[in-house]
Amino acid sequence: MFDFSFSEIALIGVVALVVIGPERLPKVARTTGVIVGRIKRYAATVHADIAREVELSELRRVQSDLQDAAKSLETNIQSLQTGMNDTLVSAESTLTEVKEQWMTGPMVHKSVDSAPPSETSLTRSPVYEPTQQDLALEITEGSALITPAPSDKVLEHKV
């Protein structure tokens, strides 16, 4: 706090001895020491309170930054989820349209047990129109598959 040299302290002691007197000097010195100690403790308490308030304000600032980041992340996730849902709905509708077009398009039917196809057998095969039971649409996470339903028939889409 204050910087006193030894000579300054000795000068203050001599003046106090002359002014106060030798009988009361020890009592005054003790009282002065107690008061200085209380002032130092009070200053340390104020200093600690200020440091705590600074730390608390920094923690509040960090907390608000984290809450803002969490809200931003939540908003981004919700927008991604909405976009993915829209894409999934679009893909499902497109797959349904493809399935309907595939079902209504001209198809060539041939039996699994028959001989390997020759050029004449393909051109002379009757046109086969599949029904809803002849096709299977599997939509799983990340993929979709349109396959013929399990049967003894093999379906080929004629281009």
Selection from 89-93, 116-120, 127-131, 154-158 with the highest mean pLDDT: 89-93
pLDDT at residue 62 tops 80? yes
The yes-or-no verdict on residue 111 having pLDDT over 60 is: no
- Identify which has the larger pLDDT, 19 or 142: 19
Average pLDDT over residues 153-158: 47
Rg (CA), the chain: 47
- 111: which 2 tokens? 């039996």
Euclidean distance between CA atoms 121 and 153, whole angstroms:
16
Report the candidate in 82, 88, 93 with the shortest Cα–Cα distance to residue 143: 88
**What are the structure tokens assigned to 30, written together?**
């003790």
The whole-model pTM stands at 0.41
Look at residue 104 in the predicted model and tell me its pLDDT.
Answer: 77
Mean pLDDT of 23-47: 94
